[in-house]
């Protein structure tokens, strides 16, 4: 493999590892903030136990997420120096704001939250985790606005052999960036909610602190249902943006080869990119694809044949990843509906099959967010910045394949070790008794 493909694999590996931790941080932080405000409002010790139990899992995940995120930024200088030279002034601006504003905000107040137990007022302590939740989401906004610019470059001119920003407001209000932000954010909320429901289901089945974990399950179920419906809505709007500004990606997502007005939607498709057609295309819903693309049944949807082969993204992986993401989205809606119903009716303990399902379903939202990023990033190929800079032109000229191979092996081993540590710690504390957690934290805060 050449240095371009090796560098792409390396960045994909580090990004995938990093995105194991980020979604849980985004979703779980709001649930913990809600739990602590319940404690402040009611004075009920159960909510204190709840906050500290989930808070410990949050901190483990947060710490490892920070470690895995730092190395990604180094790769822009090491593996992607030509990309950084060409668009660094634009791409670097939102990342700099994220680091100096959002990251420092969350880092500061997470320190207040960790060390502030019994040292500051209950309201101020609850406010600190609320600020952490807000800051983590703000951090995601700036990163996704940067990524949104790569997907739909706006507010720039090509001058002096590079892209230069002329309108920061255009970047800030880029519709692609905002729809991507809401879709990613609500997907992360689903992951956080299903994480809580899975662990709560384990404890309910074990009859451990049943009242506490039934309450945790109920809050997470409501959060999951609201987030699942928002994912559906944001995904619809994001799909329109993709069809508008990245027609090659949209065509690959649907394996759509022929440009048509009033394009139908085949229910069964097997993509066959080698022959520039679909091997199977059955039961077509009339005009449905045009409706999905533009909310107009007579709109024209461009097919892959309208674009040169070198401008088309990999079809099969984009198509299958998109289908898998949509199927998981439907599962989240159905599962969270049942979860809310059983919680309201107080029938969780009598439906062990559902508790077992929710426990075993924990990997599904993790897979869901990963395949979503595959659709977004593989579907953008062969462009690093869509229509502006090809991926092959963004790689560092001085890097040799052996250097990338060695660093790729090193990153994979390091991140694999961190993933094992993360899994071990999360399993250890997720299956422990909240009363034991509370005693340990009290000892730590007194030390």
Distances (CA, A) of 437 to 53, 361, 391, 434: 6, 25, 48, 5
pLDDT exceeds 50 at position 447 = no
Give dist(CA 433, CA 207) in Å, integer: 11
Q: Is 258 helix (H, G, I), strand (E, B) or coil?
A: coil
Give dist(CA 250, CA 379) in Å, integer: 8
pLDDT exceeds 70 at position 444 = no
pLDDT exceeds 50 at position 10 = yes
pLDDT exceeds 80 at position 116 = yes
Distances (CA, A) of 84 to 81, 180, 217: 5, 22, 45
- Per-residue pLDDT band for 52 (boundaries 50, 70, 90) equals very high
pLDDT in tens, 386-397: 989 999 998 888
Specify the pLDDT at position 437: 56
Calculate the CA dihedral of residues 372, 370, 366, 6 and round it to 10 degrees: 180
Specify the pLDDT at position 438: 52
Q: What is the DSSP letter of 313?
A: P
DSSP per residue over 355-401, as a string? Answer: HHHHHHTTHHHHHHHHHHHHHHHHTTTTEEETTTEEHHHHS-SS--H
pLDDT exceeds 60 at position 244 = yes
Q: Which pairs from 168-176 meet CB under 8 Å and 24+ separation?
A: 168/93, 171/90, 171/93, 171/94, 171/145, 172/145, 174/145, 174/148, 174/149, 175/241, 176/148, 176/151, 176/152, 176/241, 176/245
Q: Is 269 helix (H, G, I), strand (E, B) or coil?
A: strand
Give dist(CA 264, CA 273) in Å, integer: 19
pLDDT in tens, 136-183: 999 999 999 999 999 999 999 998 888 999 999 999 999 999 999 999
Q: What is the pTM of this model?
A: 0.92
Mean pLDDT in residue range 421-433? 87
Give dist(CA 155, CA 164) in Å, integer: 9
Specify the pLDDT at position 65: 75
Give dist(CA 22, CA 66) in Å, integer: 9
Tell which phi-psi region holds residue 196, choosing left (phi > 0), alpha (psi between -120 and 50) or beta.
alpha
Tally: H helices and E strands in the chain: 16, 8
CA 143 to chain centre: 11
């Amino acid at each position: 493999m050449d240095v371009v493909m090796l560098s792409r694999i390396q960045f994909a590996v580090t990004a995938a590892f990093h995105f194991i931790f980020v979604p849980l941080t985004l979703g779980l932080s709001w649930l913990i903030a809600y739990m602590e405000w319940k404690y402040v409002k009611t004075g009920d010790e159960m909510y204190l136990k709840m906050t500290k139990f989930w808070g410990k899992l949050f901190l483990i995940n947060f710490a490892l997420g920070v470690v895995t995120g730092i190395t990604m930024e180094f790769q822009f200088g090491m593996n992607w120096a030509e990309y950084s030279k060409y668009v660094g002034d634009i791409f670097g601006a939102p990342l700099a704001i994220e680091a100096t504003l959002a990251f420092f905000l969350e880092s500061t107040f997470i320190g207040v939250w960790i060390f502030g137990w019994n040292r500051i007022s209950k309201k101020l302590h609850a406010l600190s985790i609320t600020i952490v939740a807000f800051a983590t989401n703000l951090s995601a906004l700036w990163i996704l606005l940067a990524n949104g610019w790569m997907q739909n470059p706006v507010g720039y001119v090509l001058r002096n052999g590079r892209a230069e920003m002329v309108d920061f407001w255009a970047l800030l209000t880029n519709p692609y960036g905002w729809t991507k932000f809401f879709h990613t954010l609500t997907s992360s909320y689903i992951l956080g909610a299903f994480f809580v429901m899975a662990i709560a289901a384990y404890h309910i089945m074990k009859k451990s602190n049943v009242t506490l974990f039934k309450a945790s399950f109920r809050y997470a179920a409501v959060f999951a249902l609201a987030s699942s419906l928002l994912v559906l809505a944001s995904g619809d709007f994001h799909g329109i943006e993709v069809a508008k500004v990245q027609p090659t990606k949209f065509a690959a997502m649907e394996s759509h080869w022929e440009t048509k007005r009033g394009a139908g939607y085949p229910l069964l498709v097997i993509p066959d990119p080698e022959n520039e057609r679909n091997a199977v295309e059955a039961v077509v819903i009339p005009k449905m694809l045009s409706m999905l693309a533009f909310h107009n049944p007579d709109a024209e949807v461009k097919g892959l044949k309208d674009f040169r082969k070198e401008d088309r993204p990999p079809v099969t992986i984009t198509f299958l990843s998109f289908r898998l993401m949509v199927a998981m989205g439907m599962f989240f809606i159905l599962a969270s509906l049942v979860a809310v119903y059983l919680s309201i009716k107080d029938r969780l303990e009598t439906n062990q099959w559902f508790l077992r399902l929710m426990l075993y379903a924990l990997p599904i939202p993790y897979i869901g967010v990963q395949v979503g990023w595959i659709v977004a990033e593989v579907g953008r190929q062969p462009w690093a910045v869509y229509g502006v800079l090809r991926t092959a032109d963004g790689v560092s000229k001085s890097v040799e394949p052996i250097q990338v191979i060695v660093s790729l092996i090193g990153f994979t081993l390091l991140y694999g070790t961190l993933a094992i540590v993360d899994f071990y710690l999360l399993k250890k504390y997720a299956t422990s008794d909240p009363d034991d957690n509370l005693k340990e934290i009290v000892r730590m805060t007194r030390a």
